């Protein structure tokens, strides 16, 4: 998804203007236009270990499968590890299970969408791999201490206080 967005933004910058590309990126939740020769965002380059190791490939699988989560046993199989090996590596490197790490990735993405998009909470729940909005709400409340709806309302109140000008008026 990030590579596609980067490509589209590069075309907009080339055909129209870099300023328009930045504004489109902002609307699409992208903080900056990434140059073609720079690594895609995601933080994987900062991780220890070889760049093509099984752990890095497992994390990439998780990060690219937010909407349709893959069972961690399948991720382990695809990267050449047993489920138990994957669990041990996650316990050692992240002090949590692969399932917990994957859930955290999905919740972080949901939190970003709640704060920065106009998507409905149901759309956000589904786009982050939760089958229902009610299940999403229960899972979300545990680490964040509030419901997705409460976070959305807080963000909207903050935006109103800042009186953000509409697009094109900046």
Buried b (16+ CB within 10 A) or exposed e, 59-98: bebbbebbeebbebeebbeebebeeeebbebbeeeeeeeb
What pLDDT does residue 31 have? 45
Average pLDDT over residues 25-37: 54
How much is the average pLDDT of 80-84? Answer: 97
The mean of the pLDDT values for the chain is 80
Superfamily of 51-170 according to CATH: Homeodomain-like (1.10.10.60)
Highest-scoring range by mean pLDDT, 20-34, 70-84, 139-153: 70-84
């Amino acid at each position: 998804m990030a590579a596609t967005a980067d490509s589209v933004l590069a075309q907009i910058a080339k055909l129209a203007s870099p300023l328009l590309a930045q504004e489109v990126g902002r609307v699409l939740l992208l903080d900056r236009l990434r140059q073609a020769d720079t690594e895609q965002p995601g933080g994987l380059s900062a991780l220890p270990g070889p760049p093509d190791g099984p752990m890095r490939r497992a994390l990439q699988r998780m990060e690219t499968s937010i909407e349709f989560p893959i069972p961690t046993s399948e991720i382990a199989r695809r990267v050449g590890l047993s489920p138990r090996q994957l669990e041990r590596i996650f316990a050692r490197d992240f002090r949590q299970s692969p399932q917990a790490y994957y859930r955290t990735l999905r919740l972080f993405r949901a939190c970003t969408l709640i704060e920065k998009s106009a998507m409905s909470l149901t759309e956000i729940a589904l786009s982050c791999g939760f089958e229902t909005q009610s299940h999403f709400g229960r899972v979300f409340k545990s680490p964040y201490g509030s419901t997705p709806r409460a976070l959305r309302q807080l963000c909207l109140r903050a935006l109103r206080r800042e009186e953000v000008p509409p697009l094109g008026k900046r």
